Copies of this chain bind each other. A is one copy, B any other.
Amino acid sequence: MTPATDDDWFEIAVRVRYAETDGMGFLHHANHAVYLELARTEYFRSRGGDYRAMEESGRFLVVVSLQTKYLKPARYDDLVRVRVRVARLSAAKLEHEYELLRGDERLATARTVLACIDGDGVVQPMPGYVRQPRAADD
């Protein structure tokens, strides 16, 4: 596996909403998972995927594991850069890593593992259109 470079990252910008802040005036830590999901979805869209259509065809991507390290708080109205890339892809699992930044300052890093299930919750092989450009590496 070649070391990842800056070119691997896909990035979106998300402005922190008032409703997402907490009594400290910070982005509440539960919302980071929502931001990761937004980045993942747009990343998928940018590669020709359509997650809504995927669900309508009876395949769902579910988060089976999430890790987040919070380095600095994001505040109301901050424009947060959320970067995502595929860290690992196998027949059954899709692992992403993420960085949240404000300008060049890193606010958080995260990692998720997704599995694919059908409408009955049974694990399915990852659809071909998810397993794209970057080759599976395990």
Interface residues on A, range: 35 or more
**Does A52 touch B at the CB level, under 8 Å?**
yes
**Does A31 touch B at the CB level, under 8 Å?**
yes
**Does A1 touch B at the CB level, under 8 Å?**
no
**Does A90 touch B at the CB level, under 8 Å?**
no
Asked if A69 and B65 make an inter-chain contact with CB atoms under 8 angstroms apart, the answer reads yes
Which of chain B's residues has its CB closest to A40's CB? B18
- Chain A positions near chain B (C-beta within 8 angstroms): 17-19, 21-26, 28-31, 33-34, 37-38, 41, 51-52, 55, 60, 62-70, 73, 75-77, 121
A-B contact pairs, 13 of them (CB 8 A): A19-B34, A21-B22, A22-B23, A24-B60, A29-B33, A30-B31, A30-B37, A33-B33, A52-B75, A66-B67, A66-B68, A66-B70, A67-B68
